Amino acid sequence: MAKIAPSILSADFANLERDIHDLERNGADWVHVDIMDGIFVPNISIGIPVVQALRPVTDLPLDVHLMIDRPIRYVEEFVKAGADWLTIHVEADQPQNILETLDKIHALGCKAAISLKPRTPAEAAIPYLEKCDMVLIMTVEPGFGGQKFMADMMPKMKQIREWLDDINPECVIQVDGGVDAGTCGLCKENGAEVLVAGSAYFKATDRAEFVKTIQA
């Protein structure tokens, strides 16, 4: 069964605790937290204090997606704040620094993941696959919610899943961007096991039913 990680980027920030408890009641598996610095992506979202505030109000895994430049500078603070998963972008630093960042995340007792922007080829993930617990395939350009799903990312996802099956089969594939009831099937067919849904989840008339559709 697939997992769903609703993105709180689309939540009501004035009532974040309420929305977290709502997604718990509706059967969500993880909480996806989008961190943006206005440099790596052209938007600013939230940071360490929000992760810290979320940790006491839910037992669900906090899946923290760092869309920030040179993430090694902040991984320790995010882990201390309560992140269970930390995803960094392969484009956010030099390759050696990305490898060191993944090692540091693991040393801190946290799950480590990489992410690829849509224009980044699948081959860019190869140096990191053995060190990853998860690979996140972006199906929109990162930075803003509510964008249209890019179906042409499916061959990239399928290729990375094939590589992982050979060298790191325990590593899971996550997909983020335009995921809804109409696109989730295609994602799962191509190897996605964790699906991030933001606006589609929070705008759903029946959120519990939406969760079941993604998980099915």
Would residue 59 show up in a list of annotated catalytic residues for this protein?
no
Cβ contact 187:179 at 8 Å: yes
Integer Cα distance of 70 and 157 in angstroms: 25
- What crossing angle do the helices spanning 207-215 and 16-25 adopt, rounded to 10°? 60
Name residues whose C-beta falls within 8 Å of residue 172's C-beta, 6 or more positions apart in sequence: 133, 134, 135, 193, 194
Would residue 166 show up in a list of annotated catalytic residues for this protein?
no
Phi, psi of 94 (to 5 degrees): -70, 150
The 3-class SS string of 110-136 reads CEEEEEECCCCCHHHHHHHHHHCCEEE
Cβ contact 195:172 at 8 Å: no
Catalytic residue among 34, 37, 63, 93: 34
Pull the structure tokens for residue 200. Answer: 């589609």
Pull the structure tokens for residue 74. Answer: 């902040």
Active site residues: 34, 176
